[in-house]
């Protein structure tokens, strides 16, 4: 009888855990699908708040905080008022630091750390370019070393070169091999699950096509 009770309790626990996991994945999938097509700051803020609620419920998971940071970086990307950009980047870095504590040496997290640094450049490119460009590149190189198969560090490094004037070591010629590498890696990159980061492939293809133009 004791064995039956223990087995029943164990089975119930497994079902409970599976149900919680399924609920978490479903909520994440819904938000990520919306995030893929969202470009307004107001809508991105709603998504960041939604991911934060998931994070508060699933304290061991790093992906909700990753997507909070991603949402804030998208806000920084579309923000036209440069005085607000640093605030979005600060929030992104806050949540990336939290995610980093839960998932150390994670390539995807360091891609966003690099993106956060490069996003600060647009506030004042002449003054900030060298400092934050170096920080961004350092983080992308770390991301590459953590997972050489990840196409996103190559994409971000290629973008950095693409938008850097040739006189400062950038330009299409310098960006092209990095973007080509990203394109090739996207062809074989396999997602660990439906809620893992999957962004960047179209961007890599579009920018690589631009680099091939005369």
Asked if 112 and 73 touch (Cβ cutoff 8 Å), the reply is yes
CA–CA separation, 28 and 32 (whole Å) = 6
pLDDT in tens, 152-193: 999 999 999 999 988 888 999 999 999 999 999 999 999 989
CA–CA separation, 140 and 208 (whole Å) = 18
Angular region, 169: left φ>0, alpha ψ -120 to 50, beta rest:
left
Q: What is the mean pLDDT of the chain?
A: 91
Structure tokens at 193: 């699950």
The answer on pLDDT for 21 being more than 50 is yes
pLDDT in tens, 105-164: 999 999 999 999 999 999 999 999 999 999 999 999 999 999 999 999 999 999 999 999
Asked if 63 and 195 touch (Cβ cutoff 8 Å), the reply is yes
Mean pLDDT value across residues 8-33: 71
Domain-by-domain residue ranges, the chain? 32-147, 149-214
pTM (predicted TM-score): 0.89
pLDDT at 10: 52
SS3 assignment, position 189: coil
> Within 10 A of 124 (CB to CB), how many other CB atoms are there?
11
Structure tokens at 185: 């890696």
Separation in Å, CA 183 to CA 73, 84, 91, 114, 205: 22, 32, 30, 19, 6
Kindly state the DSSP code that residue 121 receives in the 8-state scheme.
G
pLDDT in tens, 56-65: 999 999 999 9
């Amino acid at each position: 009888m004791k064995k039956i009770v223990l087995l029943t309790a164990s089975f119930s626990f497994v079902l409970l855990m599976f149900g919680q996991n399924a609920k978490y994945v479903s909520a994440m999938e819904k938000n990520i699908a919306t995030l893929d097509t969202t470009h307004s700051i107001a809508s991105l803020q709603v998504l960041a708040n939604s991911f934060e609620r998931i994070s508060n419920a699933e304290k061991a998971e790093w992906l909700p905080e990753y997507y909070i940071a991603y949402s804030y970086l998208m806000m920084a990307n579309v923000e036209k008022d440069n005085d607000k950009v640093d605030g979005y980047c600060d929030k992104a870095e806050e949540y990336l630091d939290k995610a980093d504590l839960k998932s150390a040496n994670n390539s995807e997290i360091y891609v966003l750390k690099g993106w956060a640094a490069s996003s600060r450049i647009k506030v004042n490119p002449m003054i900030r370019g060298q400092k934050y460009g170096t920080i961004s590149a350092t983080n992308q190189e770390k991301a590459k070393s953590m997972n050489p198969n990840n196409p996103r560090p190559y994409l971000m490094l290629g973008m950095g070169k693409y938008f850097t004037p040739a006189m400062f070591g950038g330009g299409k010629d310098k960006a092209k091999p990095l973007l080509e590498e990203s394109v090739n890696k996207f062809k074989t990159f396999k997602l660990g699950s439906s809620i893992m980061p999957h962004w960047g492939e179209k961007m890599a293809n579009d920018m690589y096509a631009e680099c091939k133009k005369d």
